[in-house]
Amino acid sequence: MSFQPDTSVPCEVLPAVNHGKRADDTSIDMLVLHYTGMKDEQEALQWLACKESGVSAHYFVFEDGKVVQMVPEHRRAWHAGKAFWHGKRDINSHSIGIEIANPGHEHGYRPFPDIQISSAIALCRDIADRHGITPKNVVAHSDIAPDRKQDPGELFPWAQFHASGLGHFVEAEAISGGRFFQFGDSGEPVAALQEMLALHGFEVEKSGNFDEATQACIHAFQRHYRPERVDGIADVSTIATLHKSLDALLRG
């Protein structure tokens, strides 16, 4: 299916096979950022384009900054999988998915080149402006599926995106000592932590038990906001940064 690009950012078109109709009564109000997680970016592009993969994305950004559109924006690409964010579950119907070429944690994860990030920012800025996507809804794949995904990972420059008006971000509080919560802990303080994570957008049961789902959300939060140490432990730095982030969200 050939089509014309939706974006004004220079790009090529390589139609993907796996996509469908967005759910009725949904609007495009999210941007989900991924890394490809494959050794070779050309192979990743072809994988996203073929039927056998069972996945797709709207856009692909190469390391040299080249952009390819694979699915028309009005169509539902298959990029998010089982996911949740601020009460939404069918994230694919609400979102534009962007794959950013990087080998990922399993194949030699490395920093994203400046030219690639500049291109991704220009693309995301264009999409967000056209669809009215707010910063809190420009998210990592790991934000919406913390139990399954870790992309685009702790090396992704969220501060740079935020400075361009894309994505929510606050500077992390310094890592220090003090009381912490970790897997297996329980009690009212853990329930309060889970409440804060839920307010931030994550799907987490407010059980008071620091379970695997809570640990996964802490991992995801740290990758996005406290990348210096991603260990799944809710230490003083992580909790203070979470407070700071929620305050910023409430202020709009």
CA atoms of 147 and 216, how far apart (whole Å) = 5
d(CA 172, CA 145): 22
How far is Cα 205 from Cα 185, in angstroms, rounded to an integer? 15
Identified catalytic residue from 99, 154, 173, 203: 99
User: What is the length of the chain?
Assistant: 252
For residue 34, what are the β-bridge partners? 99
d(CA 125, CA 119): 10
What are the CA-CA distances from residue 214 to residues 4, 21, 108, 115, 182 (Å)? Answer: 43, 33, 27, 35, 9
Distance (Å, whole) CA 208 – CA 189: 7
Active site includes 99? yes
Which two three-digit tokens encode residue 34? 């991924």
- The contacts of residue 186 (CB under 8 Å, 6+ apart) are 208, 209, 210
Q: What residues contact residue 28 under an 8 Å CB cut-off, 6+ apart?
A: 22, 73, 94, 95, 96, 131, 133
What amino acid positions are annotated as catalytic residues? Answer: 99
